[in-house]
Structure 1
Amino acid sequence: YNSKNPERGGAKKANTGKDPATRRTELKELRGRWEIMCNEHLVRGGIDARIDMRSHAERGTGLAPEVKQLPSQWRDEQQRAEVIDFRTARIEQQQTAANLAREIPDAGAEIVSLSAEREQRAKPARQVEAMPAADLVKAWD
């Protein structure tokens, strides 16, 4: 909390005298209730999107957490455009990852399989190169 320059230090926290562990637990419970309520309303509205309060790590998405965007970054038009561009690129990245997962459910295994296939195809070529010319002619016949 920075009372002299609030734009550099955020707002004063009013934790109501609770210890941080209790406060953290209460916040997670609040987010859980918010997730349930929002998802129920999305279902009622016929919208397929859902809210998930878990982190990317907990969900196993493989995405890095998004950098926190401070209010000061939204004040300037150019900075606002940069934040919007960043978020648009992030959405496109997520959509591409979802499309890849849908088209190739186990992309990692596909890559390993292709690498193994390349190695397998390269083996006979290496064996032929290592043969003496006389043996090569015999093998050709």
Structure 2
Amino acid sequence: MPRNPRIPKPTAAELGLLRTLWRLGPSTVKQVHEQEQRERPGVAYASVLRLMQVMHGKGLLKRDESERSHVYSPAQEREPVQTRLLDDLIQKAFAGSGKDLVLAALRSERVSDAERAEIQRFLKESRDA
């Protein structure tokens, strides 16, 4: 997959806002702030606005200025961003081994029984294909 070196890797806070925008779709700062408040009560509107402006300046967000309230959307879809972050994690934390990443994830308590069953189905289907 070709990488766009001009779009930087998002920080943790930026990734949180990207997740919100991927879920909501193109949104105003007010809409994003309302959603963020549901998840993190007390987050200030000015903080959300400033972070979105910074993200726009970095190229992480696109902004439609045709309406009175600007509408923001992610510059990239969720999957390419996640893939890029995953590639970086595999290189940095697992010495380039995808297998070690998967085994570490499966050993953790964060993977539910339902998720394990889904993984097993995926592996069986890919083996049978």
TM-score (norm 1): 0.26
Task: Compare the two structures and name the one with the higher helix fraction.
Answer: 1
Larger RCO, structures 1/2 (Cα 8 Å, 6+ apart):
2
Q: Greater strand share, 1 or 2?
A: 2
